[in-house]
Structure 1
């Protein structure tokens, strides 16, 4: 195998400490939920902009500071003062100040658990508060309306300042969901309500799941176990119906958009036009290969027109709603930014609501990963992308709306995660790379100056750590670069032979290798290297941020290109003189669990040990939104479903395999691994199995330490 590029990045964790002084990590320190886990995350400072100003504020658990520079801060408020004001109003006290949000120079607000409370930081008073029930969920506050919307006992309510809550829409426990996320959180959907810019109107989802099959989960925490049914539409089966309503706060009435037939489609990327006369909906057919951006009259619900259409031979996946450009007068123009992969990479397009496409703003063999907003004159748009440094890096850029000129704002290779001030004059940059734990800076965009506000110390200082090797390999087609990361054991000796644990995910929307702290590695991999393993990970084709050709090669044949690419990583490992080719193990969860079993089946004897968590074993048991995007329906793609069916190939497994599943998993339902076990029994194939009662798709909280101890023990015992 020809190697295109090779780079060694050495992390010297304890340069001045002798070998005798270096400490070892334990699972309580490297696993989320562990007793000391937070001590090993690079320190973060919650620095933000003060409302609509360029001033910086620092939120700590018990204090709010005005921040002037590196360790230069002035106390604005402490939790004692805030709780005293809450007591005086008979309101519930707050436990910390992490969730403070600034509205403007004077006002900020917090959620104390049963009220949204707005404070005046100048007068040091409570301006107003809006109460909600303790059991309320999905609370969404709109400062302009001085109102909140929330779910309570399946229903949707709006509560305005000094007014009683109003019932907006009724739901039920029988399959009517209102004001909540729909389509199983695909297509960038993470909530179910959408305020108009003025706060006078509220759009909300209504989902009818009554036709969707009930899927049984079993609660064992009662004397007689109880069935807990969830709505779970499997690939090829009946899907839910979604509609979009608009509530008028002044007139207290609801109008639904006339989205029409067929009912089985996806209503995504909801946006209000600047004048609030229209609602824009990206409507995707069930086959997910045809998207229409439609415009509706927000008052009558009538369809007005189709702005444009996007089609694909694979899939179309809109994930970002239209972003309307402000007019500088506290309003919005009819022009908006649309993100699309229509040219093979996610880029920005400038549209006019009346005239259609104006121009493509960005182009090239790189992807826009995030849009932040505009400058004060609305002449420039800020975005993050892979433009410089490829998928391993992120940087902040601005593009001129007039001529498309792009200017890079951040400097230094690595991952830059940025926030923009409302004026667009400054940005807060949270940065890391392989050997930089975390730096937080403020950037003056006009002056092109950067001031560091916080440098996190190396949390592993004084601990025994191995070196990180970042490499670039070829894919199985011999054409495409793939990025890998290898963590070597401490005190590595190239004359010795080491076992390898390959950690894999390999599916859409997950990048594991990046130029961030520890190369993006999970701390468990750092721990395993400390135990004497080489910890290896590679992102195969099908993973994100590399463009459509790279990502969509998996269409209708999940587990083919991904596994072939992972084996190129294994070939690379076997070529290294210090790798013990007879002791290679593999571990992954969810899609990675599917990949783990798939690798062991298609390449028997290569992997001595595998641990598969929450695996998809047959895609016909997976849900519609995700499953049909990549595989179409079982009737449309019989060959693809058969080729990816792990249950049909249990006889091919060699080596030790442990399967783990959460008994209450609503994502990859328990049926997957249970049916796989049934086939193993039928074929006299011995595998190991462990279940986590009460846990869902992943094992979270303190029990996660138990999970990773189980995984670690399995490799220690058999690898």
Structure 2
């Protein structure tokens, strides 16, 4: 049910203004961040701002009250932005002056702080380094600088350069290349062994990967920025896995087979300090192998293999955990059609499938080995919900710990006795609670009451969730946002919001982001905002997600067109004023929908769109389309560039020239094709802006521009 205190159709309430959304932060919710659970199970630590300086405080779990200051940036003289403790909580690693590189990578100035004495030790003489990581014995720190892996002994300050062949745009040691970082969600690519005697790392030889060039504007002569970016069908880095032995100073390569046109996206130490596990994926990503290697000799053996007629999604097989018994491991897989948890012997043989059903495990949260209980989040209640469950390792005794509807994100203590629940719905902002593992709520840490009170003064509309059938009878999830003063006797324009990419989800019972409140602003301007999760999106099983395989854009666009037709039949919708907008994959979808669905859509906005999958990266694109050499029609049949002659409506194309992800080249080629087809359209570029088009005044500017375009054209 709608929360009347937050969402009201009453008159004389304030309308949502652009300033509220983008400048004043009126609808920004508070949260509890920077939490680290402490070893004694009675406290957790949290990073806060105190007197204008960062600090890390200890919080008593029983009372919820502050029990001491662990790190004080003012005392240390360091304006740190992140911290981590060693297992014994005797040392802390803090980072300052952190500089973002790409989506997940960064570098900064690191310090090791002795918590007892407060003494700090600066690493690498204050030069910027990446991924500084304390050894398990707390005596050493490993890190990456300039594509090489280093080691420093804290007591003596002795520094060892483990690799020396690292070079920009040629060889990377210990950190991911661009495409691994973006598509395999990794940046750091090294790990300490459990006994602190070895370091395993991935080496990327990207010397044969084609180079992409972006011009950076702002000086008398624009600068070139060149980096390695493997577009679909082109050469990837040659990845290899190595183990450095601290005692001997020697490095041993692990045997990953003779084929080098593969992916090696994960390394894990087992409970045996001399056995390294790693994942191997073939180029088409339809075979995933788990191997165990002898860290001393490099000899490896195949533990298990999973194959598919489409693809094996690493994101759905990325919860590998070795149990302390040294004999078994658990993992996730969608091999039965839905992502579930499996328990295996160390040799790969299956003990049992722990969870099952026509729903997905979205995250493995924790394992209590002593009690033999496993904690996870799933979609069992609904694809629109995320709830927290516990189940015995034998697959019995399943219990829901967070029965409240909505979306629950969980941070569980390392001893599995407590968890913090971040819970919201589409109607109610974030509530953060501290709970016992049994599900009993101990304390509300943040309830966003100030935001709730503020919201009662605004005319906000709720999201109305529903389903409708697409062309083959498949039910699609969708929502509508009507104006708060909705009058069913009037005719309204509809703006559809789309992302639509494989495994994604926009229709979810969770509190909205900045983009959702822009939609509230548009509703206040008299628009109905709608969203449809087409075939290929996530949370509904492998078959639904994989239905778009080898033909991206085809079924997704059919479903968006069917959604528009469904809305057009509603008595309060003006069928001549239906528009669609999206960003990234959503920009690809909005472009294609306007062109192919030119009799349904009047207007579209595409921000940073892919316009031909030939221009996007190998890992993402080939996972869903194979290579261009194997599936040329899959790349070309649904490229917006190939459909420009069908454009009839109003089209606004926006891109950042500094987009390292979906290159500005995509929009340049689409513009050229539109010109050659003699089509009029609007376009705008943001100099030097990356894929998010943020920073400075960019966010305010782009949403103001899109608002004005929609008011004029729709």
For normalisation by structure 2, the TM-score amounts to 0.91
Q: Which residue of the partner structure matches residue 55 of structure 1?
A: 43
Q: Does 1:318 align with 2:311?
A: no
Which has the bigger relative contact order, CA under 8 A and spacing at least 6?
1
Secondary structure of 1:675's match?
A: helix
Within 5 Å, give how 1:231-270 maps onto structure 2.
Answer: 231-270=228-267
Cα distance change on mapping 1:276 and 1:293 into 2, 3 Å: same
Q: Does 1:209 align with 2:201?
A: no
Distance 2:61 2:279 in 1: 43
Structure 1 window deviating more from structure 2 (181-190 vs 498-507): it is 181-190
Secondary structure of 1:659's match?
A: strand
Q: Which residue of the partner structure matches residue 102 of structure 2?
A: none
Within 5 Å, give how 1:151-162 maps onto structure 2.
Answer: 151-162=144-155
Report how many residues are paired. Answer: 689
Secondary structure of 2:598's match?
A: coil
Q: Which residue of the partner structure matches residue 283 of structure 2?
A: 286
Cα distance change on mapping 1:169 and 1:314 into 2, 3 Å: same
Q: Does 1:371 align with 2:343?
A: no
Within 5 Å, give how 1:181-192 maps onto structure 2.
Answer: 181-182=176-177, 183-185=179-181, 186-192=183-189
1:334-376 deviation per Cα after TM superposition (whole angstroms, max 9, x unaligned): 3111111111111111111136221111111111111122226
* Deviation of the 1:316 alpha carbon: 0.8
Distance 1:643 1:667 in 2: 22
1:656-677 deviation per Cα after TM superposition (whole angstroms, max 9, x unaligned): 1011111122211122111111
Distance 2:391 2:336 in 1: 18
* Deviation of the 1:24 alpha carbon: 3.6
2:74 to 79, 83, 93: 83
**8 Å Cα contact 1:464-1:490 kept in structure 2:** no
Q: Does 1:591 align with 2:585?
A: yes
Secondary structure of 2:49's match?
A: coil
Q: Does 1:274 align with 2:274?
A: no
Within 5 Å, give how 1:295-694 maps onto structure 2.
Answer: 295-303=292-300, 305-319=301-315, 320-321=317-318, 323-327=320-324, 333-354=326-347, 356-375=349-368, 377=370, 379-387=372-380, 389-446=381-438, 448-457=440-449, 458=451, 460-518=454-512, 522-694=516-688
1:174-196 deviation per Cα after TM superposition (whole angstroms, max 9, x unaligned): 32112112443323434312222
Cα distance change on mapping 1:238 and 1:480 into 2, 3 Å: same
Q: Which residue of the partner structure matches residue 716 of structure 1?
A: 711
**8 Å Cα contact 1:610-1:658 kept in structure 2:** yes
Secondary structure of 2:460's match?
A: coil
Q: Does 1:94 align with 2:79?
A: yes
* Deviation of the 1:684 alpha carbon: 0.8
Q: Which residue of the partner structure matches residue 116 of structure 1?
A: 111
Q: Which residue of the partner structure matches residue 167 of structure 2?
A: 172
**8 Å Cα contact 2:110-2:129 kept in structure 1:** no
1:40 to 21, 27, 31: 27
* Deviation of the 1:602 alpha carbon: 1.1
Cα distance change on mapping 1:663 and 1:518 into 2, 3 Å: closer
Secondary structure of 2:604's match?
A: strand
Distance 1:540 1:70 in 2: 46
* Deviation of the 1:56 alpha carbon: 3.8
Cα distance change on mapping 1:324 and 1:595 into 2, 3 Å: closer
1:30 to 18, 21, 25: 21
Cα distance change on mapping 1:621 and 1:214 into 2, 3 Å: same
1:635-654 deviation per Cα after TM superposition (whole angstroms, max 9, x unaligned): 21122222112112111011
Secondary structure of 1:60's match?
A: strand
1:503-554 deviation per Cα after TM superposition (whole angstroms, max 9, x unaligned): 1100024211111114996221122112221111121111112111110011
* Deviation of the 1:127 alpha carbon: 6.0
**8 Å Cα contact 2:323-2:369 kept in structure 1:** no
* Deviation of the 1:287 alpha carbon: 1.2
Structure 1 window deviating more from structure 2 (464-473 vs 694-703): it is 464-473
* Deviation of the 1:138 alpha carbon: 3.0
Which consecutive unaligned segments of at least 5 residues does structure 1 have?
A: 1-7, 87-91
Q: Which residue of the partner structure matches residue 3 of structure 1?
A: none
Which consecutive unaligned segments of at least 5 residues does structure 2 have?
A: 98-108
Structure 1 window deviating more from structure 2 (450-459 vs 205-214): it is 450-459
* Deviation of the 1:562 alpha carbon: 0.9
Cα distance change on mapping 1:508 and 1:440 into 2, 3 Å: same
* Deviation of the 1:326 alpha carbon: 4.1
* Deviation of the 1:605 alpha carbon: 3.0
1:141-177 deviation per Cα after TM superposition (whole angstroms, max 9, x unaligned): 4453443322222322122312232212231013211
RMSD (CA atoms): 2.6
**8 Å Cα contact 1:349-1:359 kept in structure 2:** yes
Cα distance change on mapping 1:537 and 1:9 into 2, 3 Å: farther
Distance 1:248 1:154 in 2: 19
**8 Å Cα contact 2:483-2:526 kept in structure 1:** yes
Distance 1:28 1:210 in 2: 48
* Deviation of the 1:432 alpha carbon: 0.7
Cα distance change on mapping 1:99 and 1:343 into 2, 3 Å: same
Cα distance change on mapping 1:72 and 1:145 into 2, 3 Å: closer
Secondary structure of 2:326's match?
A: strand
**8 Å Cα contact 1:596-1:610 kept in structure 2:** yes
Distance 2:222 2:588 in 1: 29
Distance 1:538 1:219 in 2: 37
Structure 1 window deviating more from structure 2 (477-486 vs 630-639): it is 477-486
Distance 2:87 2:264 in 1: 31
1:242-281 deviation per Cα after TM superposition (whole angstroms, max 9, x unaligned): 1111122333322111223221101123211111221112
Distance 1:444 1:657 in 2: 53
Q: Which residue of the partner structure matches residue 123 of structure 2?
A: 131
Secondary structure of 2:636's match?
A: helix
**8 Å Cα contact 1:247-1:255 kept in structure 2:** yes
Secondary structure of 2:467's match?
A: strand
* Deviation of the 1:116 alpha carbon: 2.9
Distance 1:257 1:439 in 2: 47
